[in-house]
């Protein structure tokens, strides 16, 4: 049976998406054997910029980059401006967006823009960031339905609340 490659875009490389990278690295062979799926991270973004690798980034390399204080903008083939991450959210580059940017309860950005772009282009979206849902749940669910995509949300609760 042929393995299906799922090209993944990661918006944000904070704790949630770095944990996801750990799962990709540790469970890759088991997921491939059991489900014939291979998750390949092809696009990443942090506050410094965005990067694209059509062959897929090595999850451990991205983890090491962030653990050592590095930024996505330092990666080869990076794009100069973080706003251009939206341009990478197309079926040409990825199939699935994991949105894990910091929650912005005032505007929902940049997560809201990333989520809209992904859904409009037929990508599935998983939200760890609840800001987009807070600001436009109805529009996002309508976009997902209209474009035959999945909009899933999980990972955090009360992420925008101040911690004492």
Sequence spans of domains, the chain: 4-153
DSSP label at 7?
Answer: E
Q: Give the full edge-to-edge strand order of the sheet including 124-127.
A: 78-79, 49-57, 37-46, 4-11, 96-99, 124-127, 151-153
For position 163, what pLDDT does the model report?
A: 46
Does residue 62 register a pLDDT over 60? yes
Q: For residues 21 and 68, give the distance between their C-alpha atoms in angstroms, rounded to a whole number.
A: 16
Cβ atoms within 10 Å, residue 12: 24
Residues 5-35 pLDDT 10s: 999 999 999 999 999 999 999 999 999 999 9
Question: Topology of 4-153 in CATH?
Answer: Rossmann fold (3.40.50)
Q: For residues 150 and 141, give the distance between their C-alpha atoms in angstroms, rounded to a whole number.
A: 9
Name the pTM for this structure. 0.90
What pLDDT band is residue 2 in, cutting at 50, 70 and 90?
A: very high
């Amino acid at each position: 049976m042929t393995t299906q490659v799922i090209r993944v875009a990661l918006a944000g490389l904070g704790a949630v998406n770095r944990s996801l990278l750990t799962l990709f690295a540790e469970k890759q062979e088991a997921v491939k054997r059991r489900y014939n799926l291979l998750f390949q991270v092809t696009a990443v973004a942090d506050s410094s910029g965005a990067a694209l690798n059509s062959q897929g980034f090595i999850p451990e390399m991205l983890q090491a980059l962030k653990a050592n204080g590095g930024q996505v903008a330092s990666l080869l083939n990076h794009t100069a401006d973080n706003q251009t991450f939206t341009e990478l959210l197309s079926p040409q580059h990825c199939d699935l967006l994991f949105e894990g940017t910091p929650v912005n309860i005032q505007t929902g950005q940049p997560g809201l823009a990333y989520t809209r772009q992904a859904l409009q282009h037929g990508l599935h979206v998983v939200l760890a960031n609840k800001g987009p849902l807070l600001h436009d749940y109805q529009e996002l669910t309508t976009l997902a339905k209209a474009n035959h995509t999945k909009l899933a949300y999980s990972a955090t609760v009360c992420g925008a609340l101040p911690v004492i």
